[in-house]
Amino acid sequence: MEPYFPMNLLRGRLQRLTQQLPDLIEHLPDESLADAWKVLQPLYYDLYMLSAMQESMRTIRPGDAMTREEALRLLNLP
C-alpha cells in the first residue's frame, strides 16, 4: 500500500523543487545533465502528451473527429 500524502503537501513540495531547479541544474556537470535527462525524458513526454490530450478535450467539438470506420475508409482510398 502506498503512503497517503495530502495534495497540498505534494503541491508545496513540487513548488519548492521547481523554484530550486534552475540553481541545481546550473551546478550539475555535463555528464550528470545527460543522466538526469535520461531519467526525466519519459516524464517530460508523458506530461507533454497529457497536456495535449487535455487541450484537445477542451477544444474538440462533435463532428471534429472521425469514427473508426470513417478513418479506415479514408485510409483505404486510392
pLDDT at 71: 83
Site of grid cell 487535455: 54
72: pLDDT strictly greater than 70? yes
pLDDT at position 23 is 93
Distances (CA, A) of 69 to 59, 60, 64, 73, 75: 23, 19, 15, 6, 10
At residue 61, does pLDDT exceed 90?
A: no
State the average pLDDT over residues 34-42. 93
pLDDT of residue 66: 81
pTM summary value: 0.54
**pLDDT at residue 1 above 70?**
no
Cell of 43: 516524464
